[in-house]
Amino acid sequence: MKRSFLIILLVIVAITSTNLMAETKLKMELWNRWTYQQVDGDVTENEMAVKRGYFRLEPQLTSNVKGRFNVDFFSDNGGLDGAGLKLKYAYLDFKNLIPIKDAKLTVGLMKTYFGTIYDWSYPTIDKDPSDKYKFVSSTDYGMGVSGYLPQGYGTYAVAVYNGEGYKKTGGDINTDMNYLANLRVSPITGLTVGGSYMFKTKNDSEANDREEYNMMAGMGKFAFGSATLTAQYLTKTTSYPNDNTMDDVSNSVISLMPMYKINNKIELVARYDMYDPNTDVDDDGYNTTIGGVNYYLARTSKNKPKLMLQANYQIKSYEDDNSDDESTMMVQLRWIFSEKIK
């Protein structure tokens, strides 16, 4: 599959590589984090680490072809010797290649256009709900078309993926592709609503091992003055079409996230997630409550964040009375720099 993508990339670049532009944008982002966690009064984690770092290159190959290459690295938290390294993005965007106005073709290790995961900027230290509750991977190997609706009323994306994500490269591929459609609409100023659908399969060597996933996301974002409210509903149904002994399993997430910008430096954020791993089983889920503040110590000339301090306190409470609640305090320093190379 990856060899096919490489061939497609080379062919398209050969067709569109006129007016070469020797410009590349370099970007680096690092997250220095302190995590302190307690369960039933006992300290279970007290750690300082570089939780994540990004190294990004964005080459502008021609006026119509732009690329992105990201390496994701982190300090040791899983038995590795010192640090871990993952390829996060490796794709090319092609404009004016297909006969659709304001559309682009993307090929490679690209964003998964599902719910809010593809434009999640980590207003909370915790992950986007689709990522946190393992609905989809934030990136995957594939190709897709995305663009704008007429008169700026919204955006759309359709894509096909391997389905393995970026963490299990070559380890979870089968003969079936995964398909996705995403739509967002902004009918009035300050309001955005959208929905996503993804059909995914996992097919091992045995016929009875086939699993099918139907995943849907609905989102809404309301902005009024200095306040915003983002709401999201996720649902996933896992079925086993070749095994009559297995029942379908459905799980769901409801996430609410209000934010309030006090000024250009201080932003308050709260979040409440309700996760149900099996809607047919009682008291098997948990809720997560997050309260935090984002303090922007420095910004670029274009008012984009350059140095920010984040502090979050969250409580994970289980529906099962026999499970102890978890409380976690996280303080994170995020710093970003970028340069254009000619």
- pLDDT per residue over 140-187, tens digit each? 999 999 999 988 899 999 999 988 888 765 555 667 889 999 999 999
The arithmetic mean of pLDDT across residues 66-92, rounded, is: 81
Give me the residue label for tokens 């369960």: 39
Domain coordinates in residue numbering, the chain: 2-341
Q: End-to-end alpha-carbon separation of the chain, Å?
A: 33
Which helix (H) or strand (E) segment holds residue 6: the answer is: helix 2-16
Supply the Cα-derived Rg of the chain in whole angstroms: 21
- By residue count, the chain amounts to 342
| Averaged pLDDT of the chain | 88
Task: Please check whether residue 200 is in contact with residue 185, taking contact to mean a CB–CB distance below 8 angstroms.
Answer: no
Give me the residue label for tokens 């680490």: 49
Higher pLDDT: 202 or 204? It is 202
Kindly report the CATH number that applies to the domain delimited by 2-341.
2.40.160.10
Percentage helix, strand, coil for the chain under 3-state DSSP, each rounded to 5: 10, 60, 35
CA angle 131-122-254, nearest 5°?
50
Q: Look at strands 191-202 and 178-185 and give their pairing.
A: antiparallel
pTM (whole model) above 0.85: yes
Residues 6+ apart with CB under 8 A from 79: none
Instruction: Calculate the CA 32 to chain-centre distance.
Output: 20
Residues 6+ apart with CB under 8 A from 129: 115, 116, 135, 232, 234, 253, 255, 273
Residues 6+ apart with CB under 8 A from 81: none
The model's pLDDT over 296-307, given as tens digits with 9 standing for 90+, comes to: 999 988 888 999
How would residue 240 be classed by pLDDT, with cut points 50, 70 and 90?
Answer: confident
Residue 11: DSSP 8-state:
H
Nearest to 72 by CA among 85, 59, 83: 85
The arithmetic mean of pLDDT across residues 215-231, rounded, is: 97
The arithmetic mean of pLDDT across residues 253-269, rounded, is: 97
Task: Please check whether residue 93 is in contact with residue 105, taking contact to mean a CB–CB distance below 8 angstroms.
Answer: yes
The arithmetic mean of pLDDT across residues 222-245, rounded, is: 92
Average the pLDDT over each of 11-25, 165-179, 224-238 and give the range with the smallest value: 11-25
Which letter, b or e, does each residue of 316-336 get, where b requires 16 or more Cβ atoms within 10 Å of its Cβ?
beeeeeeeeebbbebbbebbb
Cα–Cα distance measured from residue 291 to residue 272, given in angstroms and rounded to the nearest whole number: 9
Cα–Cα distance measured from residue 108 to residue 166, given in angstroms and rounded to the nearest whole number: 11
Higher pLDDT: 9 or 62? It is 62
Residue 9 has pLDDT above 80, yes or no: no
